[in-house]
Amino acid sequence: MQTCIAAQQPSVLDPLLPLLHAVEKKMLGSIRSNAPKFSRETMGGVNAAAYHLSTGGQRVRAKMALHAGLAIGLSTTNAVTIAATVELLHNASLVHDDIQDRDEVRRGQQAVWVRFGVNTAICAGDLLLSAAYATLCNLEDSRALANMILLVHERVATAIDGQSADLAAGASTLSDDVTALVRYQQIAMAKSGALLSLPIELVLLAAGQQVYLPHAWRAAEAFAVGYQIVDDLHDFRSNVSNCAAVSGYNIVSVFEATGSVNDSIEKAKLLGLEKIDLAIVLAKRLPYNIGERLRDYAQQLRHVLVGHKSEALTGGS
């Protein structure tokens, strides 16, 4: 989440800081398997994956998992294991997304495919994805492991469906604006919501509290749509400033079919606020205060969205 949630340096007093260090160590260890390496050249995928992880990121999903895990009473080992699992999945998706979108920069550094080439980047993304499953097997108690692995697959499959639908949409716009809006939200919920709900969902499964899984999913869905709208508004402003084309599936374009650009921006902001406020309410309702980090991120999004000005977004036109 690069454009919507403010990057913050972790405080030395942050109780999660040592656990975040443990997450980083576990992720790096997971991509360096004991499989024999044929030569220095064959380690390209490992090196590329390690490079990507070294570029940092806000570790939003890791923080959600760590906070939720500790709040519900999991051991630090299990909380770190779940946090590393979800971050590996997310980072795998970023490596592959950059290839598909031809984005050359990630976190202020060269994207993996630019630095190492497309073929090696694909291998690196695959390695990160596989490492997530291996990492999850480090749980101290394996009783919930089968259901957790199944849920990981289901959420990854949902994210892939959402990404595939987004790619298929391309620069096209549906003629029916109601259908387009529904489809827009479905894509956002799938491609972003799936991996945002997973940190809390895996914690719930590990703690034997699977009854709350639907509640976590609904909160993440609402947050995902709000996040996508804020991201789209940022992209719209950037594209207008650079005289670049705006995707037909940008939320402004979806609404623009029935009004002016400024009207479309205001409609987008209202929908975004509706979804973000819903995410805040649903996150607060999660048991043991496990949704606190999700709520905090939603409140940050709300602050960003309220601060958007139509004139700034449209270059004053």
317/305 Cα distance (integer angstroms) = 20
188/163 Cα distance (integer angstroms) = 9
pLDDT on residue 305: 92
Name the band, by pLDDT with cuts 50, 70 and 90, for residue 77: very high
Query: Exposed e or buried b for every residue in 277-295, given b needs 16+ CB within 10 A?
Result: ebbbebbeebebebbbbbb
Q: What is the chain's Cα-based Rg?
A: 20
268/308 Cα distance (integer angstroms) = 11
> What does CATH list as the number for 146-317?
1.10.600.10
183/91 Cα distance (integer angstroms) = 25
Number of neighbouring beta carbons within 10 Å of residue 85: 32
Question: Which residues, in sequence order, are bridge partners of residue 110?
Answer: 105
Question: Which residues, in sequence order, are bridge partners of residue 106?
Answer: 109
DSSP-based three-state secondary structure for 311: helix
Q: For the chain, which residues make up each domain, given as ranges? A: 1-140, 146-317
Domains 1-140 and 146-317 share a fold: yes
pLDDT on residue 41: 61
164/160 Cα distance (integer angstroms) = 6
Examine the pLDDT at 24 and tell me if it is beyond 50. yes
pLDDT on residue 220: 98
Supply the mean pLDDT for the chain: 88
The residue ranges of DSSP E strands in the chain, in sequence order, are 105-106, 109-110
DSSP-based three-state secondary structure for 75: coil
Q: What value does the mean pLDDT take over residues 79-99?
A: 98
110/116 Cα distance (integer angstroms) = 9
Name the band, by pLDDT with cuts 50, 70 and 90, for residue 35: low
Task: Identify the top-confidence range among 23-37, 49-63, 226-240, 243-257.
Answer: 49-63
Q: Pick the residue with more confidence: 249 or 24?
A: 24
Q: pLDDT by residue (tens digit) across 211-270?
A: 999 999 999 999 999 999 999 998 888 766 665 555 557 898 888 876 677 788 999 999
Examine the pLDDT at 154 and tell me if it is beyond 90. yes
User: Alpha carbon 131 to chain centroid distance?
Assistant: 18
162: tokens are 């959402």
Name the band, by pLDDT with cuts 50, 70 and 90, for residue 4: low
CB 217 within 8 A of CB 294: no
pLDDT on residue 312: 40
Q: What is the DSSP letter of 9?
A: P
Distance between start and end Cα atoms, the chain: 29
Phi, psi (rounded to 5 degrees) for 73: 105, 15
Q: What value does the mean pLDDT take over residues 53-67?
A: 96
Name the band, by pLDDT with cuts 50, 70 and 90, for residue 308: low
CATH architecture of 1-140: Orthogonal Bundle (1.10)
Number of neighbouring beta carbons within 10 Å of residue 39: 6
